[in-house]
Amino acid sequence: MTLQTLRIATRKSALALWQAEHVAGLLRQTHPDVHVELVPMSTRGDQVLDQSLASIGGKGLFLKELEVAMLERRADIAVHSLKDVPAALEPGFTLGAILPRADAADAFVSRKFGNLSKLPQGARVGTSSLRRAAQLRALRPDCQVLDLRGNVNTRLAKLDDDQYEAIVLACAGLERLGMADRIRSRLHAPGWLPAPGQAAVAVEMREGDHHIARLLKPLEDMDTRIAVNAERSMNAALGGSCTVPVGAWCVVGEQGLTLMGLVGDVATGRLLRARAEGVPDAAAALGRTVARQLLDQGAAEFLAPHAGGSPP
């Protein structure tokens, strides 16, 4: 029987709703005979804002309630920021589509200062990401790196209330919300690495649902899928936790793939880096190669203090 209504589970934040509406719009264009509706939900990751993500189980908390809704047939698919999606999904789920990637750089956001180097000694910089914290400490060991939770608007409000001299967010999120003017400068590869999968939107579905898979197929961007497969494979080989300070960036070029990886020590700001080249058909193997290079440099020592988090 042909599906007449497609229900999209989504978090309630402005950015999550933008992403879900974006996917809904694409589905309506490609399948005008299908009615698409959103099922907004609140997740534990959205509700617990007085503790760091690392301490309460990692970014996988943003997915659980949405997956339960799919299992209970209250939703057919779920839309996520791919950087929030665990390296290994729960059994019974798969990524039915990965959309074209947006700007994967991080954004330096400040009311008074144009870039990281212009911050005064001891400046307070807010982020909820261990990856960002490690890179901040590497570049500006004198600054105070403080935890910052909440949705984009909440974080910007705290900056505007002078709780921080600067904060670090994702460029893609600000641009999608029409807030690109808040970006003072971009923190980008190769000097600064994003999270694995950053700036890509993923559509999760129940495994084996062939009708849903056919509906999602036109949304797929193969170059993005290849790049993020390499990045997520590297993350998985390093332990696969969303609570660890890992950065990755894969470039898909005419000559093949280049993958850059990073593991940081949040306490000291020491960064381990590796890179390797490969072919698109072996993106996952390339990720494992870069992970091995990082482990050979001693990355396990940096990852061990954070290994108790949830699988990503």
The residues assigned a catalytic role are: 84
User: How is residue 259 written in tokens?
Assistant: 């993958």
For residue 39, list its beta bridge partners: 9
- N- to C-terminal Cα separation, the chain: 35
Q: How many angstroms separate the CA atoms of 50 and 72, rounded?
A: 30
Q: Largest alpha-carbon pair distance within the chain?
A: 65
Run of H or E including 264: strand 256-264
Task: Report, in angstroms and rounded to the nearest whole number, the Rg of the chain calculated over CA atoms.
Answer: 19
DSSP 195: -
Helices (H), the chain: 14-30, 44-47, 53-56, 64-71, 130-139, 152-160, 171-176, 210-216, 222-237, 283-296, 299-303
With beta carbons less than 8 A apart as the criterion, state whether 165 and 120 touch: yes
| CB of 130 closer than 8 Å to CB of 170 | no
Residue 204, SS3 per DSSP: strand
Cα 301 to chain centroid, rounded: 23
